[in-house]
Amino acid sequence: MPKTTAKLEDFEVLVTIGSGTYGTCKKIRRKADSKVFVWKEVDYHGMTEKEKQLLVQEVNLLRELRHPNIVRYHDRIIDRTHSTLFIIMEYCEGGSLADLIARKRKEKTYIEDAFVWQVFHQILLALEDCHRKREGVHKILHRDLKPANVFLDKDLNVKLGDFGLARILHHNFSLAKTFVGSPYYMSPEQFTEELYDEKSDLWSLGCLVYELCALSPPFTAPNQRVLATRVRDGQFRRIPHTFSSELQSVIADLLQTKPSRRPSIRELLESVSQHTTLSPTVQRQTILANLTGKCERKLIQREDIVREKEKALAERERRLIAREKALAEKERLFHKDTHVYRRSPLEPMETNS
């Protein structure tokens, strides 16, 4: 791992966001500049050597991935006293797609069609970067693509995260054969423990986009055995008719049970980009107008105002500190360079007689 200069005392913990198999995710603030991040606290005390190697691999993967639609890695801190690794990453203010789906399910409303296309497009761009060859490192499969692992920034742009189950393929035709991932989003070839490649990530993407539309996965079952059967059959209901037939068609292409029949990322990008032609600013305004309710829009606007006020207060405080330092230095120089006569308490006072 690379050397780091960050220390635990450089940050303050704001709130716990969530927890997973190995890690607890917390929102933190850097004391030096008040910049907000998240860190994943990973307790490696009880890990096997293989699990520790996987942990090192995850951190190394995060360092390699530099893409606007992938959660950005910033630093890591090792607390050997408590056998804990702190992985510091970009904070995504918009939460996860799982949060959004849960909220829409509760409200009994659907996500805006334009937003689904935008998410679809940006995840494809992130996967394209993962699947490309790198010097010394070749293709990276995510292997756990699901709504809970896709985050949104303050402008509602996608940030693909949690590469804990990622696997590096060191040859063009290398295939993986490990039963990992969340069952609802696993491909048929993973269920049958066959060899699989990047087309497996595309199946998971199809399940994710379907859930964005229908607010539930395309394949559900009371147990994993029944789920495996339904996934292998590949039969699923149409997404709600509020969504376009083009979206239904591309989801069907992704959920082909035979990997060879699924389109490539390049083919998908050519198709999906036709539905995301608006500028990012116009897209955000359109999506916000439909994705959030009136109260939520006011809350977002209020948060923007508070954020600007916080910046102004921080700048004002910085100027006051600088001014106090300048005054203190001026006073120090005055006492150093100027002789001030002080009367002894025993010296008689002058009187007018």
- CATH number of the domain enclosing 134: 1.10.510.10
- Residue 335 maps to a domain: no
Distances (CA, A) of 294 to 257, 283, 288, 298: 42, 18, 10, 6
252 and 298 together in one domain: no
The average confidence (pLDDT) of the chain is 81
- Residue 2 maps to a domain: no
Q: Out of 64, 90, 116, pick the residue that ends a domain.
A: 90
If pLDDT is split at 50, 70 and 90, which confidence band does 337 have? Answer: low
Residue 96: strand, helix, or coil: strand
- Residue 337 maps to a domain: no
278 and 237 together in one domain: yes
pLDDT of residue 282: 44
Q: Out of 46, 67, 90, pick the residue that ends a domain.
A: 90
Distances (CA, A) of 165 to 54, 73, 99, 108, 144: 8, 16, 21, 33, 6
Higher per-residue pLDDT: 326 or 111: 111
pLDDT tens column, 14-41? 999 887 666 789 999 999 999 999 998 9
Cα 127 to the center of its chain, rounded Å: 14
If pLDDT is split at 50, 70 and 90, which confidence band does 298 have? Answer: low
- Residue 347 maps to a domain: no
18-22, 230-234, 249-253: segment of lowest average pLDDT: 18-22
| Mean pLDDT of the 179-194 span | 78
Domain, as residue range, for 312 = 293-329
34 and 121 together in one domain: no
If pLDDT is split at 50, 70 and 90, which confidence band does 287 have? Answer: low
109 and 188 together in one domain: yes
Asked if the model's pLDDT at residue 111 lies above 50, the reply is yes
| Mean pLDDT of the 184-203 span | 85
- CATH number of the domain enclosing 49: 3.30.200.20
pLDDT of residue 217: 96
66-75, 232-241, 298-307, 335-344: segment of lowest average pLDDT: 335-344
168 and 233 together in one domain: yes
32 and 136 together in one domain: no
If pLDDT is split at 50, 70 and 90, which confidence band does 316 have? Answer: confident
282 and 301 together in one domain: no
Asked if the model's pLDDT at residue 323 lies above 60, the reply is yes
- Residue 260 maps to a domain: yes
pLDDT of residue 69: 95
226 and 106 together in one domain: yes
pTM exceeding 0.85: no
- Residue 195 maps to a domain: yes
Asked if the model's pLDDT at residue 301 lies above 70, the reply is no
Which residues are part of the catalytic machinery? 144
DSSP state letters, 207-234: HHHHHHHHSS-S---SSHHHHHHHHHHT
pLDDT of residue 304: 63
244 and 119 together in one domain: yes
pLDDT of residue 86: 94
| Mean pLDDT of the 198-213 span | 95
pLDDT tens column, 126-179? 999 888 866 555 677 787 899 999 999 998 999 998 875 545 444 333 444 444
| Mean pLDDT of the 226-235 span | 94
Q: What's the angle, vertex CA 76, arms to CA 73 and CA 80, rounded to 5?
A: 160
| Distance in angstroms (rounded) separating the CA atoms of residues 118 and 71 | 17
Residue 166: strand, helix, or coil: coil
| Mean pLDDT of the 318-345 span | 71
- Residue 350 maps to a domain: no
If pLDDT is split at 50, 70 and 90, which confidence band does 192 have? Answer: confident
- Residue 342 maps to a domain: no
pLDDT of residue 313: 79
121 and 269 together in one domain: yes
Q: Out of 72, 90, 108, pick the residue that ends a domain.
A: 90
26 and 170 together in one domain: no
pLDDT of residue 178: 46
Give me the number of domains the chain comprises. Answer: 3
143 and 276 together in one domain: yes
